[in-house]
């Protein structure tokens, strides 16, 4: 690997956990992974639990807080939306953008994803841009066309000074929450293609951009996925809800 990329293991709790459940899970994760220094860790609780979880992580040097979505503006009359300024104020360092559930269940478009990407970076949040094909797109042989389009449109005119400030998550829609994981080779092929496209967009600094794999990652399959040269971490849904299973993924090398 030409460029050293520190692995990132990220948990997306989706619409799960109350404040007290989030605090409890975060405390246990902290206990189980506090000594891990060679891996970055992020957890993304629901909005209502961000501040309480931030308090748990305050003295943690290796576990960061993330949000699952945001609006692109700082404030305004947008009922039900949360701004990047509010996320930073609540203690977030990361924000997940364009998750397939946002795109497919809430009709989020590439144009909106693009506004959010620029805004996150301007507000000093590290965006995790999620991209990935559906089963039909894969079967039709359109995976690369789709990934290229999501990258081109999502990153259009986005200025990136520091490649460590951007994370991409390749999450094949057919593998999310289904128990079906992309094979290590399928995932590596997609990741290598994504890095090639990122190089076309950002130049050589793309070698330092972390690309996570997401879709039914579990303690049992994390090590083989992480062994692939272009897989730099994981974005985990289901298996991140339980502190012990999430921590086992963090400890995938051991
Ligand atoms: P999963 O979700 O691990 O439950 O498949 C992944 C994701 O949605 O990020």
The ligand 1 site (C-beta within 6 Å) comprises: 12, 171, 176-177, 214-217, 235-239
How far, in Å, is the centroid of ligand 1 from the Cα of 76?
A: 31
Active site residue 171: yes
Protein residue closest via CA to atom 7 of ligand 1? 237
Q: How many angstroms separate the alpha carbon of residue 236 from the centre of ligand 1?
A: 5
101 among known catalytic residues: no
Q: Which of 97, 105, 106, 236 to mutate to test the pocket of ligand 1 (most atoms within 8 A of CB)?
A: 236
The alpha carbon of 121 and the centre of ligand 1 are apart by a number of angstroms equal to 24
DSSP string for residues in 225-243? HHTSTT--EEEESGGGSSH
Neighbours of 128 (CB within 10 A): 28
Answer left, alpha or beta for residue 76, where phi above 0 means left and psi between -120 and 50 means alpha. left
CA 77 to centroid of ligand 1, rounded, Å: 32
What is the reported pLDDT for 3? 58
Instruction: Retrieve residue 68's tokens.
Output: 């699952």
The CA dihedral of 153, 120, 42, 100, to the nearest 10 degrees, is -30
Q: What is the pLDDT of residue 1?
A: 43
Q: What is the pLDDT along the chain (254 residues), one digit of tens a residue?
A: 445 899 999 999 999 999 999 999 999 999 999 999 999 999 999 999 999 999 999 999 999 999 999 999 999 999 999 999 999 999 999 999 999 999 999 999 999 999 999 999 999 999 999 999 999 999 999 999 999 999 999 999 999 999 999 999 999 999 998 988 889 999 999 999 999 999 999 999 999 999 999 999 999 999 999 999 999 999 999 999 999 999 999 999 87
Q: What is the largest CA-CA distance in the chain?
A: 49
Q: List the residue whose alpha carbon is closest to atom 6 of ligand 1.
A: 237
From the candidates 101, 108, 137, 171, give the one annotated as an active-site residue: 171
User: Which residue from 73, 71, 64, 61 is spatially nearest to 91, judged by alpha carbons?
Assistant: 64
* Res 254: pLDDT: 75
């Amino acid at each position: 690997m030409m460029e050293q990329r520190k692995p990132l293991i990220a948990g997306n709790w989706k619409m799960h956990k109350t404040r007290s459940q989030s605090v409890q899970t975060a405390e246990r994760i902290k206990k189980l992974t506090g000594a891990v220094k060679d891996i970055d860790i992020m957890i993304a609780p629901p909005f209502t639990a961000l501040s309480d979880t931030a308090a748990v992580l305050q003295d943690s040097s290796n576990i960061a807080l993330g949000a699952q979505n945001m609006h692109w503006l700082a404030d305004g009359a947008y009922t039900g939306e949360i701004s990047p300024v509010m996320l930073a104020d609540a203690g977030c360092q990361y924000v997940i953008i364009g998750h397939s559930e946002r795109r497919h269940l809430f009709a989020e478009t590439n144009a909106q994803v693009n506004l959010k990407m620029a805004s996150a970076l301007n507000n000093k949040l590290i965006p995790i841009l999620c991209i990935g094909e559906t089963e039909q797109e894969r079967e039709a042989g359109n995976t690369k066309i789709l990934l290229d389009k999501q990258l081109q449109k999502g990153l259009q005119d986005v200025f990136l000074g520091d490649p460590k400030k951007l994370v991409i998550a390749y999450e094949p829609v057919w593998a999310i929450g289904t128990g079906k994981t992309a094979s290590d080779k399928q995932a590596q092929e997609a990741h290598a293609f994504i890095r090639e496209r990122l190089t076309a967009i950002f130049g050589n600094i793309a070698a330092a951009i972390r690309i996570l794999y997401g879709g039914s990652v579990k303690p049992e399959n994390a090590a083989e996925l992480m062994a692939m040269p272009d897989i730099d971490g994981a974005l985990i849904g289901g298996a991140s809800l339980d502190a012990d299973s999430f921590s086992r993924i963090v400890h995938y090398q051991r």
